[in-house]
Structure formats: C-alpha cells, structure tokens
Structure 1
C-alpha cells in the first residue's frame, strides 16, 4: 500500500507504508509534533516532497539524513518543520482573548508591578511574529502615559526561518485584517505590496529559537515571566511534549504569573502547578504560590525609550484600577461546571453554576454555561431567557449569538437563526462558520442564489488560510475539512 495525495505532482516520490511509522516517531521525538491518524496520508506526502527536493529516492537515505549530526541535518529539520506546522497568523488573533488581556490581565499585572515598573511577556510558538508584536502594541497603549517602565516581549519558535521573517516586521494586508484603521495607521507604514511595522514596536520584541518539546535545562534559560501566551501550539503536540512544555512554563513564570493557551487545549492535562480561572473569553492559568521554581539567569531586559513627542490618545477602552482576583472558589466552581457539562453530567454542572450565581448573580460565564446546559437538556425557552440575561451583561458576545442561532434552528425558526448569524457576521466579518450556516439556511428555504453567495464568501475566506489550520479554536475542524464539505470538488493543494 502506498500513501499519496490527489494533489501530488506526478514526479513526486511516494513514501512506502512500512516507513510511515518510523518517520512519525522521529518527528515526534525531535519536535513534539503529534501526527494524527487522519493526517497520515498528508504527512507521507510531505515526507515524499522533501525526498524529491533532496533527490533522495530511498526513505532510508532521507531518514539517515534527518538523524545525522551535521549542519545539513539541522537545516533539513528547519525545512521539514515549516511544512509540518501551520505558521499562519494575524495581528490580534482571537478578539476575545485580546480583550481579556487588555481589560483584565495586563492591567492587573501593571498594578501589581507598578513599584518595580518591569514587565516580561513570553509569546511561545510565535510563528512569524504577529502575536508578540500585538502584545507589544497593547503594552505601548496601556503604558503610554506612564514613563519609566521597562518591558520586554520574548517571541520563541522552533523554526528559525519564521523567526527571521518576524524580525523583519514586514506583513501582507491579510495579516492586518483584524486591525482597526487607527491602529493600522499608527503602527504600520505601506511598503511595496505590504506594510512595515513601526520600529519602536519592533524594538520591544526579542526573538529566539526554542523547542517547547525539550526541557528548558537543555536550552536558553527563561525566568521571571509575568505572562506566557502559548496558543494553537498544543494542538500539534503529543501528551509527553505538552507535559514538558507545562513544566517549562511553571519554571519560567514569576509568582502569580499567568498562562494563556488556546481554547480547550489543556483538557485532561496535569495542571497541579497552576490555578485555573474561568473568564467569559477564556480559561486562564495562574502559577500557584507554593509551586517550586528554579532560578535560571533571566534574559537581559532592554529599556524601551519613551517617545520624544506626547503620545497620541489611546484608542483602547479606558481601564479602571485593577480589581482583585476573583475568589478562587468561584473560578474552581466554573471550571468544574464546564467540565461536567462536557461530560454530560448535567445535574452536577447545574449545582456548580447555581453556586456561582448565588455568590455573583451577574457572572457572565455562569449565565453562558447555564444557557448551554439548558439547551443541551432541550429546555429551549429557559435557555433563550438565560441568553437574554447574559446579553445584558455582554451585548457583543458572539458565543451567545451562536448558541441562540442553534436553538432557533432546533425550533424550526430559520428566519430567527438567519438574523442571529447576520449579527455574528456584523460583529466578526470573518466568521466563516456563520457564512456557512447561512448558506445552508438559504438553501433550505429555496433561495439557492443567496445560498451560493454565502458559500462563495465562506470559500473565499477559507482559501486564504493554510489547509491544516483550524476554522475555529473550539472545534476540531480544519480549513480543508470545511472546504470539502462546502465543495467536494474544490480540494486544496500545497
């Protein structure tokens, strides 16, 4: 049996089946990348692609090349890692999490660190730099009127090639798609066919190569970090690699430091070194006080010069003095309620939600979980009433509108569902799933031309994304999966 792809060039070499598992194990051992069973064919094709490029027709020759100790082997790992991982990103990706960073986490860190006036942030798995630069822009905005601060953003990735692109700070329009015109004008200058990032923002970020699947003791020492952001990285990792990375983060974080990950990436992991806090936008992890921490030598922290001119007014929402951390008991109750809901233990989930609401009747996360619980139990009227209560607390919550649209569809109210999906698109113009759902609704009501327009919009957005990236951080649905659902004849190729 041979593994191949329909999109593969005729001249490309094909990896025999009996060589598949040795390469899978080698990649996992070196990089921590987990190759899922549904990705075997694509993985085999990519190995064949590299064999063709290097003119190595025998798999054993390419395997020996990868296990070599010389510079050529090191260079090949860089090339292979590029095609095995998704390097697609954009500025301020995941509006909800960045809103949480801007309005809650960073203000709390600033308040806690105001005496020493130092902040250190680590963007782990930073790819081409959009995430750490977004964090640097947030810091500049939040501290625009507070002189004397020292702050550093560290961006790391296993792939030195993407780090070099990140250092250049040059991006296409697509990477800026979620920026407001004011932010884009302030920090980016048109340059050729793309945009050049402001030099002062670039100076705030230091880029280094780091393999999260390997213990920190074998690499550069990182310590006293106030905030680690590691999103959409663990979806590629094996369980052992995730465990290693979490150990590194526990060592690197300073007292009470925060860890932000992608949605639902750490379910089932040993999080004993962290305290979980559930916010409407995301679950956040905080280093426990009692966890032992090694003290490696920290990286040098550059002093960022203040602008000579008076800073422009902030365009982010004003933030009041940081409030104290929510009582751990409430956060624990919410985390357990969400877990029980996923396990369909509705009775226990309801008990935990009611306990939270008894303490804080305006807790948005509890109302959202309650609405999901009621909808899953078929109590649609109660779920809608709870959604309305939640919307009074967070009127721009896309998660609530998605839930209400699903309920409307279950009740046969297609017109109501359409209006809700349109609301989602208004709030998030690149909401691919909303376009797709609308296309299905228009088809059902006998309006194929309108449905086709929605499908074409969804496809246009999908085709600008890497095939193996996920459509939504909460779903195990890749871009290629959804494209094949929308249009089976429209297969993506490399």
Structure 2
C-alpha cells in the first residue's frame, strides 16, 4: 500500500535537498515537495530518504530529483536586452582585454541549450569578431536537459524570438522541429555539473571572462547562493561580466562586483581589485531611449535576503555596538533617535545638525550617510545630497536607498530620464521597494507611457500595503501609508485601471 509522506518526512526531504542540491523551498512549496517525494519514493518515503542521504554525489537519484524540482523552460534570445549587452559591451571589452584570444564564456544552468547556443550565434553575428571569438562551456545538473541540448533540435516555440532571417541562417527544418547548424552546435561544450557544490576544475581561478547564471540562484538556500556567487567571482577574470536573471540581484550576496545598467537591463562587472571604486556614473545610464525592462517581482520569501534594507538598521544602530567593539554613548543613541524624529517632522536642519554631532564611528556608517542624504534632499540641498549618495555608493555600491535618493534629486532638478534610471536601479536592487516602484509609475504616466504606468502602479499598490513602517518613515516624505495607497489608487483610476 502506498502511503503519502508525513510532514516530518517532507521536512527531512527538504533539508536533504538543501544539503545535496542547494535548492531552497519555503513553506508555500511543501505541497510540491511532498508530491515529488511521493513520486520518487514508491510508497516508502522513509527508506527513500535514507537511501538518498547515503548515496554519493553525484548520483542518478539526485539527477532525477533535479528534473522535477526546477523549472527548465527557456527559449532562444530570452531577455534580449541582456543578449544585446553581451554583444555590444561585454564581448568587445573582453575581446580587447584578451588581446585577440577567444573570450571564455560559461552558461551555468544551461537547461536544454537555448542560452549557450544563443550566445554562440550572437558572437557570429557580432560583426568582425566572428565564430572564433568565443569558447562556450555550458553546465547543468539535469542529464535529460543536457541530452536534449546535445541533440540541438528545437520547436518553433523555442525559436519564437528568432527572426525569420536568422532562423534561415542558423537552422534547418526537420519535420516539425528545427535543427541547429552543426558548426554552432559543435562550438558549445556541455558538462553535467552541480552548481551547488565545490568543483575545483569548474571554478578554477580566472577561468571565464563572461558568466551567464540566470534564474538559478533563486532556487538556492541563502548559504548556497552566497557560496555559488563566491565561486563565480573567483572564477571570473578581473573585469569580467556576470549576467543574472531579472528577478535576481547580488544585494546581500557579494561586494566583488559593480552594478551595470545599459541596454535597458542590469548586469554585473567583476571589480578589477578589492575595494575598487564604482564605475563612472555615466556608465550606468541607458545608452539609448528604448523599452525599459521592468524586473519581475520576486516574492519567494525563502530565497536569499537580496532585498536591500538600506534603512532598517538606522534605528537599530543607536543601540548596537559600533565596529570598534565599544558600546555607543547615550548621547549618540539619543541623537540618532532625535534625528529620525526631526526627519519625520520635516525639521531637516535639526536632523542634519544632530547627524553632524555624531562621533565619527557612527557618522561614517552607510545607514547614517543615507539618513543624511535624505535630510539634505528634503531640505532642498540637492547637490550636497547627491555628493553624500556617491560617498555611500563608494562604500556600498548596491545600496538601493542611495539610488532612490539620487532619483529624487534628479526628479526635483527636472531630469526625468536620469531620475527614472535611478528609480529603476533602486527597484532592481530591492524588488520590494514600494516607493521606488510608485515613482516609476508616476514618471511613466507623466512621460506618456500609460501601459507601463498601469503595470508599475498596480505593483506599487500591492507593495505599499506590506511596506515596512520604518522605510515609509525614511522615504515617504512625511506621507502616511494610507495617503500613498490613496495616491496610487487615484493614479490607477485616472489611467482607467481598476485599483
């Protein structure tokens, strides 16, 4: 008789999946885990869990589990903005750095091969660089997907973003399928590897110039995600590029990368050396006016804490021990609490005076710098506020709060394009940042993009109802949650959308 797994067995199975595959599943995913466990256990969950725990890694049972626990749907030229950034920024820069040697590319979590083959085709289409410009390695833990990639036969649905001309150049019809050109197929080397495990050969230092690791880390536990990013950073040559999924950021994971924003998308560049200053501000601006990519709201609370909580520790800082190890003085605690109160009461000069009186060990803290930048921007000292934001970004390049305050300054100064770019940077770094999403929608409406405004304002309305009170205090400009929700509903109504 087949028995459904017990809640205890499902919990044991979840812990084992984290340990062996690095995949993280929160409480909302326990039903799916129970289904997968029942499917593979054959009625005896306890015995299957014991066998799995004792099996070596890698093993066939783990590979079969990976098939059922991860989403493998993909297609050619997915996230086209990133492919353009690869072709027009990353590939030429790395080609120049390599002084004519092939650029080494890794497609991590390659599934059925659409991504690495897209990169191979793109390299061939990229003007003078040509077929010999790249060496592409593609890895995945799923043997069934790798077998499909090796066959290189795809449906019309997989090629839905490929133009008819490109389809004719690189594919030939085989019944209802399309066979990839043999020269492209042979240019990609596929390996079965588990990205959640140490692998000295795969992650040898300086092995790659460009890494695509898109929509992989979202499945990892926090510890596994941090470890995976550290391995990627070590394997990337200095100045190399990392492309992640639109719902993934390095916020809270690594300080080894610059955030780049071109071609209406976000990606990362490996710092040349530890502690290197951020890239020039103009590098992070979109190079043309085009359709901007809006990151998908990632709402899995079990994934690594990438949401940038740039403001939440300001109040905690007043009672926490400073970095030197000594307890903060009572006046420092009182000054911070008082500064927050003054900010809330729109007494900006008093807030700034209190911040300026803080001991140096507090005054240089990123969160205190953020509080100072907010107070300056609200007082109208826009240039000084921007300078403080740049000081903060020099210390914490992925600080969503600093990007938000910069956006406020640019918007107040009449530069809507720069404001929108910084708001989008803030929303990308922190997908739960309600006020950033609200400002994006308001600017889009003002600039005449009604469809985008409706989408972003609808998302802002959801986020506002769950936004932390501390962040509303810092960034809400004195408006309570109810007023901001009302504003969002009114804007949606004016756009003809049901709020």
Q: Please, what TM-score do these two structures have when normalized by structure 1?
A: 0.62
Return closer, same or farther for 1:401/1:260 CA change in 2, 3 Å cut-off.
Answer: farther
Distance 1:243 1:49 in 2: 31
Q: Is the 8 A contact 2:95 2:133 kept in 1?
A: no
Distance 2:311 2:189 in 1: 39
Report matched runs for 1:240-255 at 5 Å. 240-255=223-238
For structure 1, the 5+ residue unaligned runs are: 1-10, 293-324, 333-337, 392-396, 419-440, 445-494
Return closer, same or farther for 1:97/1:402 CA change in 2, 3 Å cut-off.
Answer: farther
Displacement of 1:134 in angstroms is 0.7
Q: Is the 8 A contact 2:407 2:421 kept in 1?
A: no
Q: Is the 8 A contact 1:31 1:211 kept in 2?
A: yes
Say what the alpha-carbon RMSD is for the aligned residues.
4.0
Choose 57-66 or 37-46, whichever is displaced more.
57-66
Return closer, same or farther for 1:199/1:239 CA change in 2, 3 Å cut-off.
Answer: same
- The one of 144, 160, 163 equivalent to 1:177 is 160
Name the structure 1 match of 2:22: 32
Distance 1:244 1:367 in 2: 29
Return closer, same or farther for 1:365/1:340 CA change in 2, 3 Å cut-off.
Answer: farther
Name the structure 2 match of 1:352: 406
CA offsets 1:247-286 (integer angstroms, 9 cap, x no match)? 1111111120011111242354231122222346333221
Report matched runs for 1:14-413 at 5 Å. 14-52=4-42, 57-69=43-55, 74-113=59-98, 115-143=99-127, 145-146=128-129, 149-217=132-200, 221=204, 223-266=206-249, 268-279=251-262, 281-291=264-274, 327=280, 331=284, 351-353=405-407, 363=418, 365-366=421-422, 376=438, 380=442, 384-385=445-446, 387-388=447-448, 402-403=455-456, 410-411=489-490
Distance 2:146 2:82 in 1: 23
Return closer, same or farther for 1:377/1:248 CA change in 2, 3 Å cut-off.
Answer: closer
Distance 1:400 1:412 in 2: 9
Q: Is the 8 A contact 1:153 1:206 kept in 2?
A: yes
CA offsets 1:3-41 (integer angstroms, 9 cap, x no match)? xxxxxxxx8641111211111111110100001210101
Distance 1:12 1:365 in 2: 56
Q: Is the 8 A contact 1:256 1:289 kept in 2?
A: yes
Q: Please, what TM-score do these two structures have when normalized by structure 2?
A: 0.61
Q: Is the 8 A contact 2:67 2:142 kept in 1?
A: yes
Displacement of 1:70 in angstroms is 6.5
Q: Is the 8 A contact 1:368 1:400 kept in 2?
A: no
Displacement of 1:402 in angstroms is 3.7
Displacement of 1:411 in angstroms is 4.1
Count of matched residue pairs: 357
Q: Secondary structure at the match of 1:216?
A: coil
CA offsets 1:140-190 (integer angstroms, 9 cap, x no match)? 1004x4468442111111122211211111112221122111111211111
Displacement of 1:65 in angstroms is 2.2
Return closer, same or farther for 1:283/1:66 CA change in 2, 3 Å cut-off.
Answer: same
Q: Secondary structure at the match of 1:243?
A: helix
Name the structure 1 match of 2:431: none
Q: Secondary structure at the match of 2:54?
A: coil
Q: Secondary structure at the match of 1:174?
A: coil
Distance 2:274 2:491 in 1: 52
Distance 1:401 1:97 in 2: 25
Q: Is the 8 A contact 1:275 1:286 kept in 2?
A: yes
Q: Is the 8 A contact 1:260 1:285 kept in 2?
A: yes
Displacement of 1:244 in angstroms is 1.3
For structure 2, the 5+ residue unaligned runs are: 286-306, 313-369, 379-400, 428-433, 461-486
Q: Is the 8 A contact 2:238 2:272 kept in 1?
A: yes
Return closer, same or farther for 1:223/1:12 CA change in 2, 3 Å cut-off.
Answer: farther
